[in-house]
Amino acid sequence: MKHFVTGGSGFVGMHLTDLLLKNNQEVVIYDTVTPDEIYLKNPRVKFIKGDIRDFDLLATAMSGSDIVQHNAAILPLNKPGPELFEVNVSGTEKVLRAAEKNGIKKVICISSSSVFGIQTGEVISDDAEVSPIDDYGSSKAKSEEVCKGYRSEHDLDVSIVRPCPIIGAGRMGIFGILFDWIAAGKRVYTIGKGDNPYQFVGVDDLADLCFQLSAKPSKNQDFNAGSAGYGTSAEDLEKLIAHAGTMAKLFRIPAGPARLILRILDALHISPLVRYHYMTADKPHRVSIEKAKRLLGWQPKETNIDVLIRTYDWYMKNRDQLNKLEGSPHRKPLKQGILKILRFFS
């Protein structure tokens, strides 16, 4: 089958493309950023440079594809303003409209567990009510509404995947800051006690779920995506620090004052941390993945600490080259802003 992958040059899109190629699929990468050369040289990959907001180009590029894997999105790390909703909501509508026009068999849309907002401690089911707390989560919730509208009004088969925060080889963004501080033997700060269970998902496990969705009956189903196992925030960080073998130490700061300071720094645009980071860092974050296991036979292979260690090791091996990377902010180290001062004194 031929998969049309929006955002295929990004972090998730790249790993998904790798998995699709391993399974003898054809891939059309549709992105504003040119993918790595290895993909351009692959005869089963076609790259089309384009923006999902350009409907005519999008619909033409999608022609002849069987499955749409919709990963393209504006991320909160960009602090993008109105463009966030233009891409994440209006762009999604254009992807679905183009899919309908081209008679696409299946559309798989990547949303986010951030649509659930601040969790109360219960494990979140696939059909839980959404309650986003920031613009990014709101844009993803609205994009889900668009998907559900196309299901009911256009009879288009659309599945939604809500991944927990995604990590894996090549993932930087805010994790680049964490790894930099650990490697340098600095204090690693947690907001609050760090006793909150917090679930990630490995990017390879997420890619596998998306592939399973394209291959097995799952019409109009929504799925959470999370790791095979997780501890509390502090437990997983302490294990990662122990693996690194540096002088880094975990340092807990009271949640209230930390949030107040980070909110001010965010408003002044001098901190890389956005509202979702500092409002949820000390809260439980875990989802049920039983539906994907039951309906698709999907089984994540990696726990939080498995994928944290693997991503950190990749960072240590490749950190001298990271600033040369282009494209998605998930693939590049974030500028630390005022946090550089804190790093210096830590």
* Each residue's pLDDT tens digit, 250-289: 999 999 999 999 999 999 989 888 899 999 999 999 999 9
Q: Are residues 189 and 331 in the same domain?
A: yes
Q: Are residues 249 and 207 in the same domain?
A: no
Q: Are residues 68 and 213 in the same domain?
A: yes
Q: Are residues 184 and 329 in the same domain?
A: yes
| Beta-carbon contacts of residue 268 (< 8 Å; ≥ 6 apart) | none
Considering the domain boundaries, does residue 293 fall inside one? Answer: no
Q: Are residues 119 and 253 in the same domain?
A: no
Which among 165, 183, 164, 166 has a CA at the least distance from the CA of 315? Answer: 183
Considering the domain boundaries, does residue 290 fall inside one? Answer: no
Q: Are residues 251 and 162 in the same domain?
A: no
Considering the domain boundaries, does residue 291 fall inside one? Answer: no
Q: Are residues 40 and 97 in the same domain?
A: yes
Cα 22 → chain centroid: 22
Q: Return the CATH number at 181.
A: 3.90.25
Q: What is the C-alpha separation between 235 and 319, in angstroms, rounded? A: 25
> 9-61: per-residue pLDDT in tens?
999 999 999 999 999 999 999 999 999 999 999 999 999 999 999 999 999 99
Considering the domain boundaries, does residue 68 fall inside one? Answer: yes
Give the domain range for residue 213: 2-167+200-225
Q: Are residues 129 and 153 in the same domain?
A: yes
Considering the domain boundaries, does residue 269 fall inside one? Answer: yes
Q: Return the CATH number at 104.
A: 3.40.50.720
| Beta-carbon contacts of residue 166 (< 8 Å; ≥ 6 apart) | 11, 12, 200, 201, 202, 203, 206, 330
- Per DSSP, 316 falls in state H
Q: Does the pTM of the predicted model rise above 0.75?
A: yes
Q: Are residues 205 and 190 in the same domain?
A: no
Using the structure block, give the residue that is written with the tokens 């006793």: 195
Strand partners, 225: 163
Angle at 331 between CA 327 and CA 332, to 5 degrees: 85
Angle at 200 between CA 194 and CA 203, to 5 degrees: 150
Q: Are residues 109 and 184 in the same domain?
A: no
pLDDT of residue 325: 60
pLDDT of residue 73: 95
> If you write DSSP's letter for every residue of 207-274 in order, what string do you get?
HHHHHHHHHS--TT-EEEE--S---BHHHHHHHHHHHHTSS-EEEEE-HHHHHHHHHHHHHTT--S--
Q: What is the C-alpha separation between 48 and 25, in angstroms, rounded? A: 17
pLDDT of residue 340: 82
Considering the domain boundaries, does residue 292 fall inside one? Answer: no
Question: What are the angstrom distances between the C-alpha of 258 and each of 234, 243, 263, 346?
Answer: 16, 27, 8, 16
Tokens of 324: 């040369």
Q: Indicate the helix (H) or strand (E) that contains 205.
A: helix 203-215
Q: Print pLDDT tens along the chain (346 aa).
A: 999 999 999 999 999 999 999 999 999 999 999 999 999 999 999 999 999 999 999 999 999 999 999 999 998 775 668 899 999 999 999 999 999 999 999 999 999 999 999 988 889 999 999 999 999 999 999 999 999 999 999 989 999 999 999 999 988 888 999 999 999 999 999 999 999 999 999 999 999 999 999 999 889 999 999 999 999 999 999 999 999 999 999 999 999 999 999 999 999 989 888 899 999 999 999 999 999 999 999 999 999 999 999 999 999 999 887 766 655 555 666 678 888 888 877 7
Considering the domain boundaries, does residue 318 fall inside one? Answer: yes
Q: What is the C-alpha separation between 190 and 240, in angstroms, rounded? A: 14
pLDDT of residue 170: 87
Provide the number of structural domains found in the chain.
Answer: 2
Considering the domain boundaries, does residue 327 fall inside one? Answer: yes
Q: Are residues 156 and 254 in the same domain?
A: no
Q: Are residues 9 and 105 in the same domain?
A: yes
